[in-house]
Structure 1
Amino acid sequence: MTYGPPSNNGQRDGAQHYMRQKIEQASGVEQVLMLYDGAVKFLMVAKEAIARGDIEARSNANRRSMEIVAYLLDMVNPETGGEAGRTLFGIYTGLLKRMMQVDFQNNAEICDELITNIRTLRVGMAQALAVQSGGKPVTGNVVAAPASEGGEPARRNAVA
């Protein structure tokens, strides 16, 4: 016999099953969009942790975003992927270097810069998906932009 509040393991298992199916049924480009969304989500968590002074949470969230970008980097072959492969390899490498600076400098502005850059990549990838699917609208979640102190969305330079 167990005591305490009822467990919601059934709900959690159902949500995990749904997410697993969604990932398995997604095309390669759709999976990349999901990875971009995940990286942005973890960078936003890292930024919030910096604001709270929670070094461990910042480190954990930033590590998760770095793992996502490292996975994307591992999928790119700059030698056989043509110009797009070389470009993405350079972009992902630059993102990883910048993500390391989040931990070294404990700087929320770097998180904002990275979030903007990854969102720029996501827009380009979503456009590629739209072209690939014959102009059909792209579905999926876009992580909301963080507000700057003035309530305006934060603006940074795009990935070059």
Structure 2
Amino acid sequence: MANINNPYQVYRQTQIKTASQGDLVLMLYDGAIRFTKQAAAALEEKNWENSCNYFVRAQDIVEELDQTLDLSVGEVAENLHRVYRSMKYFLVRANMQKDPVLAGRVCKMLEKLRAAWAVVFSKSPGHEEREGSIGA
């Protein structure tokens, strides 16, 4: 539940409740990218506890993206499923091996997929990409 004393939290809750399905997917990508970058930065600082927490949050988002796939629709969903599973594996590995380079590779994969989805959603009726405002 949003803290009514925190205007940012109220804004974020409203943004999520009123977002289109496409915007929600992009927000998930934004969160996974942000947490993966934060995990890599925490690794560089040798802050193992924070890096672990950020990796877990990124993994949870990738899992959410994977769980929302409808595998009955065909090859694209199946391929995304494999990509998401690989990302989760590499996030776990980066966390266990304290490897910011591997985390960076996952982040680049997430950024490429986010960019592709942004193009797909921008072509759907009634959608406007709000660069920078999603997941800020």
Q: Which residue of 1 aligns with 2:75?
A: 83
Q: Which residue of 2 aligns with 1:141?
A: 132
Q: Which residue of 2 aligns with 1:61?
A: 54
CA distance in 2, matches of 1:137, 1:28: 12
CA distance in 2, matches of 1:89, 1:81: 12
**Runs of 4+ displaced beyond 6 Å:** none
Unaligned runs of 5+ in 2: none
State which of 93, 96, 99 in structure 2 corresponds to 1:101. 93
Bigger radius of gyration, 1 or 2?
Answer: 1
TM-score (norm 1): 0.76
How many aligned residue pairs are there?
A: 131
Q: Which residue of 1 aligns with 2:121?
A: 129
Give the percent of matched residue pairs that are identical in Structure 1 and Structure 2: 24
Normalized per residue, the structure richer in helix is 2
Maintained 8 Å contact 1:59/1:103: yes
Q: Shift of the alpha carbon at 1:81?
A: 2.4
Q: Shift of the alpha carbon at 1:141?
A: 2.4
Q: Which residue of 1 aligns with 2:102?
A: 110
Unaligned runs of 5+ in 1: 1-8, 144-160
Q: Which has the higher contact order (CA 8 A, sep 6+)?
A: 2
TM-score (norm 2): 0.89
Is the partner of 2:123 in helix, strand or coil? Answer: helix
What is the RMSD of the two structures over their aligned residues, measured on CA atoms? Answer: 1.8
Maintained 8 Å contact 1:42/1:62: yes
